[in-house]
Amino acid sequence: LEDGNYSVIKETLEDLHIGDIAEIVEYVSKEDRVAIFSVLDVDEASEVFEKVNEATRNTLFEELDEHIIVDIIRELPADDAVDVLSELPKEKARQYIRKLIRIEPALTAKIRYLMRYEEDTAGGIMDPVFVAVKADATILEAIEEIRSQEIDEDFFAVYVVDNDGKYLGDVRIRKLFTAPPQTKIKDLIEEDRIYVTVTDDQEHVSNTFSRYDLITVPVVDQENRLVGRITADIILEVAKEEADEDIYAMAGTDPDELENTSVFNAARIRMTWLAPCLLGTAVTATVIFAFKDKLFVGNFSYVFGIAMAFVPMIAAISGNAGLQTSAIIVCGLASGHIAAERLKQVFLREFRIALLVALACGIIGGIICWGLPRIVTFDNAEQAVEISALDIRVTLAFSVAMFSAIIVSTTLGLLLPFSFRKIGIDPAISSGPLVTTANDSISVAIYLSLTLLLVSL
Amino acid sequence: LEDGNYSVIKETLEDLHIGDIAEIVEYVSKEDRVAIFSVLDVDEASEVFEKVNEATRNTLFEELDEHIIVDIIRELPADDAVDVLSELPKEKARQYIRKLIRIEPALTAKIRYLMRYEEDTAGGIMDPVFVAVKADATILEAIEEIRSQEIDEDFFAVYVVDNDGKYLGDVRIRKLFTAPPQTKIKDLIEEDRIYVTVTDDQEHVSNTFSRYDLITVPVVDQENRLVGRITADIILEVAKEEADEDIYAMAGTDPDELENTSVFNAARIRMTWLAPCLLGTAVTATVIFAFKDKLFVGNFSYVFGIAMAFVPMIAAISGNAGLQTSAIIVCGLASGHIAAERLKQVFLREFRIALLVALACGIIGGIICWGLPRIVTFDNAEQAVEISALDIRVTLAFSVAMFSAIIVSTTLGLLLPFSFRKIGIDPAISSGPLVTTANDSISVAIYLSLTLLLVSL
C-alpha cells in the first residue's frame, strides 16, 4: 500500500473519515505513521491525533517533531487539548504549555482553566464551548447573537443565561425555527432544568443522561454560572470505558494493559493480579494440609480421597453463586438503580434467591457426591464396604457444606461491593479473582471441618 | 407519603421529571402505582409507561384498565409503541393493535411497518420521525418546510433527500443559522455521509457512533431511502444494556433475571447456569477418582495428599489466566477494535504474554508446592523422609503442569470467543463459569497425569 508514494497516500486518505484514518494509524508501522502525518493538513492531523488510542498517541509524541505536535495542539479545541496533555508526564505537559502560551495565549488560558478539574468529573469531560443567549432577547436577536459567536462546533440546544451568566434553562432548537421570530426567549425556556455541576463524578453525569434520555447537558460551576456542556458522544465513550473497566476488573486485569505496547509490561500487569491468587490458593492448600493430618489416617484416608475429589466442586459452585450476586450488585450500583431507598428490598430479594440456590445445589451436590464414587471407582470390594459405612456421613457433610459455603459466598457477594465502594475501591473488584480465591479457602475450610466433624462422630 | 390524598400526589409529581416519576413507580406498591397513573395526564402517563423497566411495565399491563393502556399507547411515538408492544405475548399485542387500528389508523400503520424489523437492528431501534428537506431548496424554504412538518420531537441535524426520498447527506443546524438565507441546501451538505442501514446490527450502529463521535445518525433502507434516525440517547441505552449482558454472562447469569419479580424464577435462572457447572465439576471429580486408584497406594498416598492440596491452585490460576485473555478479546470484539486485519497481531501478542505469565506462574507455583508442605505439615519424621524423596518430582510435575494448563486455558480464552461468535453465541459466554469449569477438568487432568508420570519413573 505505502512505499513512499506520498501523493497516493494523500489521495487515499482524502476519501476517508477521521475515525478511519485514526484506525489505520493505530496499526501501521512507525514509518507509515510519520508518513501519514506528513501528508495530512494540520486540522486533520489534530483530529486524528486526538482520536487514536492512548498507546498510539504516546508513540506519536515521541516520533513526531515537537513543533508539529505544538501545531497539532494549537488546532485542538481546549477540552481535547487538555485530555491529550494530561496523558503526558507533568513536566512534559508544562513544557508544551510554556511553548503554547507564547503563540496561543487565549487557548492556553482556557487549557489552564480546564486543567483545574479532575479528569473524571463533569468539569474534566466538558466542552467549554456552548451557545448561550439572554432571556429577554427575541428569537431574531438570539439568532443574530449565535451568528456573531461564530462557533464552529455543532450545538444541539441553546442555553439561556441571566446577566451574571447564571444558567436559567434551555431552548430547544426546533422552537427557534417554529415560533414567531419576535417571541422572547424567556417564553420558550424549557421548564425542566436538568444540569450537572463541574464537580459531579462522570458516572453520575452518565446516569443523568440515561435517566432523562439526554443528548446534551449544560455544566454549571458552584455559583450556578454556565461554564460548559457535555454531549452524548462523550458520555457514550465514558460509558464504554467504565463497562470495560468493570469487565477487566472481573477478569483480574487492567485496561491500562492495552495502552501498553510492551508484552513484558502486559504480563507484569496480569501477574500483579495472579500473584495474590497464587497466595490465596496457597492458603487453600494450607487449609487442606491442616485437615490432612487428621483425615489422612486409617479408614479416614478413603474419606479424605473422596472428600478431595469434591473440593473443586464446592469451590467452583460457591464461588460462582457469589459471583452471580456480586455482578447484579455491581451493575446496579454502576447504573444507579440500587439507591439507598431500595437497599432493604435488594438485600431481602438476594437473600431469598441465595437460600433457594443453596438448597438446590446442596441437594444436587449431595446426590452427585453419593452416587459418583459408586459409579466410577472401587473395583475392589473391600474398599467399597469401608466406604459405604462412611459415605452417608461424607455425603451429608458435603451437602451441608455446599449449602453453607453458598450462603457465605453470596453474603460476601452482596456486602463486599457496598463496602468496597464505601472505602473508595471499584466495586467490580469484588467480582474479581481475588475475592473468588478468598472464597475458595473459606468454602474448603467449611467443607473439611464438617467432614471431619461428621466422620469423627 | 401517599395515603389516598390524590391532589397532594398530583402536586408532588408535577414538580418531578418523567425519569424520576418512573423510578418512583418502579418501587412503590401496586395500589400506589395505580394511584400515580390515575393522577397523571395521559401524555405524562405514556412517557412514564415507556420509561419504567420491563418488569414494572409487565405488572402495569395487568394492573391498569385496558382502555387506559390503549390511551397510553396512542400517545406514544410509533417506535416506543413498538418497543412496548413487542414485550407482550404475540396474541396480546395483536389484540391491542386491532383496538388501535380503529382509532389511530396512521399510527397503527407506522407500528406495523416498524414491527417488521428485528428488535436489535437499526430498523428496530430507529425513530421514524426525522426532518428532511430537498437539496435544491434554499435555507428559507427549508425552514418553512421544517415549520410545516410540525415535528414535536427534537432534531439535531437536517437530512437532505432527492425527489425519490433517497438520502444525500445532512446539513448541520448551525449552518441554517449562520449561512445567508438564500443559500441552497445542496451547497451546505456535509461531505461525510455517515449512515446505517435498517438491517445493521445494533452493536454495529453503536460502534459507528463511537468511531465517528456521532450525536445522531440517519437510517436508510435497502434502496438507500431515508426511513428514520437514531439518536445517541438510544445508543447509550444499547451500550449499557450490552455491557451489562457481558458482565452477566461472565458471572453466569442473565439480565432477564432482573426483569423477573419472582424470587423463584430468579433462582431458577441462576440454577440453569450452576447446574452445568455442577456437572462440569463432577467431571473434575471423576478425573481425580480415575487417578486415585493409581496414586492412592503405598508411598504414593502421600504424594496424592500433597497433589490434592494443590488442585485448587492449578484450577484457579489457569482458569483466571484464561479469563484475562478472553476478557480482552471479548471487549475487543464488542468495540470492533479487533478487526480481521489485526487478528495475527492480536494472537501473537496474546500468545507471548501467555508464555511469560505461564513461565512466571510455573516457577512461583513450583516454589510454593516445594516449600509449603515443609512449613505447614509433617511433624512426624517418617513422613518427612518419604516425602523428601519424592517431592522434587512432585514439585516438577506441578510446575510443568501449571505452565501447560495456563497455555491451554489461554489458548481457549483466545480462540473460544471467535468460535462462539462464528456460531452465533455471545462471545462473553467464553469468559463465563461454564468455560472456567471445563478448564478445571482439563488442568486437573494435565496435573495428575504429569504427577503420575513423574512419580512412577
Does the pLDDT at position B399 exceed 80? Answer: yes
The domain ranges of chain A are: 6-116, 132-231, 255-456
Tell if the CB–CB gap between A23 and B211 is shorter than 8 Å: yes
Cβ contact A258–B376 (<8 Å): no
CATH code at B132-230:
3.10.580.10
**Distance spanning both ends of chain A, measured CA to CA:** 78
* Cβ-Cβ contacts under 8 Å for A361 (sequence gap 6 or more): A317, A321, A402, A403, A406, B271, B274, B278
In Å, how far are A304, A310, A380, B299, B454 from A383, measured between CA atoms?
13, 18, 6, 18, 26
Residue A109 pLDDT level (bands cut at 50, 70, 90): confident
- Chain A: give the shortest CA distance to residue B356, in Å: 6
Contact between chains at A328 and B212 (C-beta distance less than 8 A): no
A22-54: per-residue pLDDT in tens? 888 887 888 888 888 888 888 888 989 988 888
Radius of gyration, alpha carbons of chain A = 31
Contact B328 A275 (CB under 8 A): no
Whether A312 and B309 lie within 8 Å, measured CB to CB:
no
Instruction: Provide the pLDDT for residue B208.
Output: 92
Residues of B in contact with A172 (CB under 8 A): 154
Q: Which CATH superfamily is domain B255-456 in?
A: SLC41 divalent cation transporters, integral membrane domain (1.10.357.20)
pLDDT at B206 over 90: yes
DSSP for A338-401? Answer: S-GGGHHHHHHHHHHHHHHHHHHHHHHHHHHHHHHHHHHS--SHHHHHHHHHHHHHHHHHHHHH
- Bridge partners of residue B228, in order along the sequence: B219
Confidence band, pLDDT 50/70/90 cuts, at residue B430: confident
Percentage of residues in chain B with pLDDT exceeding 70?
A: 90
pLDDT digits (tens, 9 = 90+) for A350-408: 899 999 999 999 999 988 888 887 776 555 545 555 555 566 888 888 999 999 999 99
Q: Helix crossing, A300-309 with B263-295: angle to 10°?
A: 130
What are the grid coordinates assigned to B2, written together?
A: 401517599
| Secondary structure (3-state) at B387 | helix
A264 Cβ under 8 Å from any chain B Cβ: yes
Closest CA to B129 of B230, B197, B198: B230
Q: How far is B98 from chain A (nearest CA, A)?
A: 30
Q: Per the CB < 8 Å rule, is A311 touching B312?
A: yes
pLDDT at residue B383 tops 60: no
Beta-carbon neighbour count of residue A23 at 10 Å?
22
| Amino acid sitting at position A402 | M
Question: What local confidence, expressed as pLDDT, does residue B153 receive?
Answer: 73
Specify whether the CB–CB gap between A315 and A399 falls below 8 A: no
Secondary structure E strands in B193-285: 196-197, 216-220, 226-231
Domains A132-231 and A255-456 share a fold: no
Question: For chains A and B, what is the number of CB pairs under 8 angstroms?
Answer: 358
Which chain A residues have a beta carbon less than 8 Å from that of B266?
349, 353
DSSP for residue A121: B
pLDDT for A390: 60
Spatial contact of B434 and B280, defined as CB atoms under 8 Å apart: yes
Among B130, B150, B188, B328, the strongest candidate for a mutation testing the A interface, having the largest count of A CBs within 10 A, is B328
Candidates B206, B235, B311; nearest CB to A312: B311
Question: In which element (H, E) is residue B401 found?
Answer: helix B381-422
Q: How far is CA A185 from the centre of its chain?
A: 40
User: What would the mean pLDDT of A266-289 be, rounded to a whole number?
Assistant: 85
| Alpha-carbon separation of residue A335 from A209, A239, A328, A332, A343 (angstroms) | 11, 10, 11, 5, 14
Q: In this predicted structure, which of A119-133, A145-159, A273-287, B344-358 has the lowest mean pLDDT? A: A145-159
Name the band, by pLDDT with cuts 50, 70 and 90, for residue A122.
very high
The overall average pLDDT reported for chain A is: 84
Give the Cα separation of B364 and A142 in Å (integer): 70
* CA proximity to A284, closest of A252, A311, A303: A311
What is the nearest CA distance from B260 to chain A, expressed in angstroms? 11
- At A180-236, the pLDDT tens digits run 888 899 888 887 689 999 999 998 999 999 888 899 999 999 999 999 999 999 999
Strand partners, A196: A219
Q: Is the ipTM of this complex over 0.95?
A: no
| Minimal Cβ distance to A356: which of B176, B267, B376 | B267
Write down the pLDDT at residue B300. 58
CATH of A132-231, one of 3.40.50.150, 3.10.580.10, 3.30.465.10, 3.30.360.10: 3.10.580.10
CATH class assigned to B6-116:
mainly alpha
pLDDT digits (tens, 9 = 90+) for B245-277: 888 888 888 777 766 668 888 888 888 888 888
